[in-house]
Chain A
Amino acid sequence: MSVQVAPSASLRSETRVPVPAGRRRLHVARRAAPALVTAIVLVQIYPLVWVFLTSLRPAGEFAAGNPFSLPTDLTLENYRRAWEMAPLPTFIINSLVVTVVSNVLIVGLGMMAAYALTVLGFRGSKVVLGLFLIGIIVPVHVALVPLFITYSRVGLLDTYQSMILPLAGFSLPMSVYLFSSFYSYIPRETYEAAELDGAGPYRIFLQITAPLSSNTVITVVFVNSIFIWNDFVFANTFVLSENLKTIPLGLQNYMGAMGSMDWTATFAAVCVTVTPLLLIFLVLNKAIIYGLESGATKG
């Protein structure tokens, strides 16, 4: 759909052949749309642009200035202060540990469950799939009190595991569904051929099903990484010590008492913590958007 309509051509055709009203209105819509789209997108994105610009602007200028003005001076001073105010590298490492381990669990276990449910198949597989559906509907908050009580009994409070367990558990259902729906498209013949060659269910999983899943893996990992990297509620409930804090908890360190906040340094810290996801997002952009679109429209 990249039809470019030259205005002069359409004017000429209107004078000669009567053009249906609908077609004429289409031209109007085509001309008005870019302006409207630009306006909506600008409003949507401006807060983020503003945070980024603020992070580069001298603290004094920000306090005094109009929030819509462009910075006159650019400085990295805020980033230096942000770095001093809190152990950012520790937060980033903690977030990485939690995100990577959870993702390995979600992808590995998700593929295994989907393989058992869709490829191997057994009586009652629909029931199990339904059981997994509960995890998509149920809000994570319901698990907070029970897990808190259980953790404090078995001494799991304030550990990486305390965050990883519920984060992986609640992400697993979506992963199982995405892999299952993908596996249902792999033609039977692929498996039959492998079986004739004498491959058992384990070899088929490792050599055929798993390698074919790479696109779905990207979608699953990206969607879950957003959720896990940014998780606040589990970390806030189960983690107490400074050296286990993930990025979202760490960012709270910048929240001083009202009024005494170092805004420019805080926004610099925000920019630092967003960067890893942003880079992944920009690199995998096409694959992610494709995955999200196709994943949801099939459902």
Chain B
Amino acid sequence: MLRTKQRTAVVVFLLPPLGLYLLAVVGPILYSLVLSLFEWDGLSDMRFVGLDNYRQMLFSDDIFWTATGHGLVYLAVSLFFQLVVALMLANLLTYISRGRELVKTVYLLPAIVSTVAIALMFRRIYSLEPLGLVNAALGAVGLDVLQRPFLSDLDTVLVAVSAPEGWRFAGLYMLILYAALIAVPKELEEAARLDGASEWRVFTQIRFPYIRPVFLTTAIMAATYSLRGFDIPYLLTNGGPGHASELLTTYMYKTAFTNTDFGYASTLSVFIVLQCIVAVALILGVRRTGRDAS
């Protein structure tokens, strides 16, 4: 810490960033909390309704519960790509001696493509007429029975809109997990191998426990980003057909800007925030119990 004339300097340095942050982030959050207690269509007078919006959301809004359930599926599908496949690839990558940099770069590429471009792409990938990539691949391996228009089939649409989210950021999480894996002390692994351990056991008994803190941090990042997934489902299906791929975010957006029900939309966004905080708290809880146990 510097010793001279700090007081004014702190104010000079801190005020502009804090001002922007309060204006653009903290202010709107508080405003949402207030709005969630009102009924308002943006034109007529605001009407204070207390907790009515929350009561309606929790007890008489089926779409809200459907969307919450869908959110969990969305989360599971994207975590499958971002944690399971990414960890598998990161682990495999430690066994190859050439081309690691290339793999990292190529795997990260989808992360720089905009969600609108991704949505355009996947609309064509999933289509049946004209024949898209997935259906063509299914046809090529003789699984014609599985061919379908994935985005209009009620059974497949939710998974279909979730997968692109997992796909696009898998590279980022792979990179982080890989960096953690190569930091595992080689002596530990070597000792296990000399004792005859298989590579699977090296992974489960040595590597994974060692990188567990990083894995959980990654899980927090991936989970909070997946819970706020919006662009791709909104652009691909807008929650449809019906509400078959509705997420809380798309539902909130439509409530706000299609139905102009700003009060209820704010209630939904307060819930989305709570959901993210709960997810972070849960994973941090797992992290703490893990540390106590070891």
The number of chain A residues touching the other chain, given as a range, is 35 or more
B252-287 interface code vs A (CB 8 A; 1 in, 0 out): 110011000010011001101100110010000000
The interface stretch among B18-26, B50-58, B72-80 is B18-26
- Nearest CB in chain A: distance from B143 CB, A: 15
Which of the residues A63, A170, A226 comes within 8 Å of B25, measured between beta carbons?
A: A170
- Whether a CB of chain A sits under 8 angstroms from the CB of B154 is no
Residue tally, chain B, CB below 8 Å to A? 112
- Contacting chain A: which of B61-69, B105-113, B238-246? B105-113
A299 touches B217 (CB 8 A): yes
| CB-contact partner of A146 in B28, B120, B171, B183, under 8 A | B28
Write out the residue numbers on chain A whose beta carbons fall within 8 Å of the beta carbon of B130: 63
Contact A113 B18 (CB under 8 A): yes
Known A-B contacts A20-B193, A22-B193, A168-B24; the reply to A116 vs B10 at CB < 8 A is yes
A145 to B268, CA, bound (A): 11
Within 8 A of A (CB), among B9-65: 9-10, 12-14, 16-18, 20-21, 23-29, 31-32, 35, 42
Q: Is A204 on the interface with B (CB-CB < 8 A)?
A: yes
The proximity string for A residues 275-288 relative to B, scoring 1 for CB distances below 8 Å and 0 otherwise, is 00110011001000
Verify B276–A139 contact, CB threshold 8 A.
yes
Interface residue? A212 (CB, 8 A) = no
Which residues of A (252-286) have their CB < 8 Å from a CB of B?
252, 254-255, 263, 266-267, 270, 273-274, 277-278, 281-282, 285
Residue ID in chain B nearest A140 by CB atoms: B228
A138 touching B29 in the complex, CB below 8 Å, given contacts A68-B136, A117-B14:
yes
Q: Known contacts A22-B193, A248-B114: does B20 contact A109 (CB below 8 Å)?
A: yes
| Contact in complex: A143, B17 (CB < 8 Å) | no
Complex CA distance for A263 and B133, rounded to whole angstroms:
14
Query: In the complex, A105→B167 CA distance in Å?
Result: 30
CA distance A230 to B103 in the complex (A): 23
Q: Please, what's the 1-or-0 string for A103-135, where 1 marks a CB less than 8 Å from any CB in chain B?
A: 001000110110111011110000010011011
Contact of A296 among B9, B24, B218 (CB under 8 A): B218
Given known A-B contacts A229-B114, A281-B112, A297 and B199 have beta carbons under 8 A apart: no
Q: A26-B193, A230-B115, A266-B120 are in contact. Are A172 and B228 (CB under 8 A)?
A: no
- CB-based contact A135/B269 at 8 Å: no
In the complex, A12 has a CB within 8 A of chain B: no
Q: Decide yes or no whether B170 CB sits under 8 A from chain A.
A: yes
Partner of A169, one of B20, B109, B172, B256: B20
B6 to chain A, nearest CB (A): 5
In the bound assembly, the distance between CA atoms of A30 and B94 in angstroms comes to 9
Option from B6, B26, B132 in Cβ contact (under 8 Å) with A131: B26
Alpha-carbon gap, A150 to B116, bound state (A): 27
A6, CB-defined interface residue at 8 Å: no
Is B224's CB within 8 Å of the partner chain A?
yes
Query: Could you tell me the distance in whole angstroms from the C-beta of A23 to the nearest C-beta in chain B?
Result: 5
Q: Does A29 contact B199, Cβ atoms closer than 8 Å?
A: yes
User: For the complex, would chain A's binding face be called helix, strand, loop or mixed by DSSP majority?
Assistant: helix
User: Are A25 and B228 within 8 A (Cβ)?
Assistant: no
> Is A23 in contact with B21, judged by CB distance below 8 angstroms?
no
Are A205 and B199 in touch, CB under 8 angstroms? no
Stretch from A36-44, A71-79, A82-90, A213-221 at the B interface: A36-44
Q: Report if B124 contacts A (CB, 8 A).
A: yes
How long is the Cα–Cα vector from A237 to B253 in the complex, in angstroms? 9
Q: Please, which residues of chain A bring their CB within 8 A of the CB of B270? A: 142
| Least Cβ–Cβ distance between A261 and chain B, in angstroms | 8
Candidates A68, A233, A274; contact of B117 at CB < 8 Å: A274
Cβ of A247 under 8 Å from chain B: yes
Scan residues 11-51 of chain A and give those whose CB is less than 8 A from a CB of chain B: 20-23, 25-26, 28-30, 32-34, 36-37, 40-41, 44-48, 50-51
A298 CB, min distance to chain B CBs, angstroms: 9
Distance in angstroms from A55 CB to nearest chain B CB is 11
- In the bound complex, what is the Cα–Cα distance between A48 and B131 (angstroms)? 17
A116 touches B198 (CB 8 A): no
Known A112-B14, A296-B214; judge A201-B179 contact (CB<8 A).
Answer: no
Beyond the given pairs A248-B116, A267-B121, 19 more chain A to chain B contacts, judged by CB atoms under 8 angstroms and listed by A's residue number, are: A21-B196, A37-B103, A40-B89, A44-B106, A44-B110, A109-B20, A112-B16, A122-B6, A134-B25, A141-B228, A142-B29, A145-B35, A145-B256, A146-B31, A176-B17, A200-B4, A201-B2, A232-B114, A251-B116
Q: 8 closest A-B pairs (Cβ-Cβ)?
A: A169-B24, A22-B193, A139-B228, A293-B179, A33-B95, A230-B114, A146-B31, A109-B17
Q: List 26 A-B contacts (CB under 8 A).
A: A2-B97, A22-B197, A33-B93, A44-B171, A45-B106, A68-B137, A135-B21, A135-B26, A137-B277, A142-B29, A142-B32, A146-B28, A146-B29, A146-B32, A166-B25, A191-B2, A202-B12, A229-B114, A230-B114, A230-B115, A251-B116, A277-B112, A289-B101, A289-B104, A293-B176, A296-B221
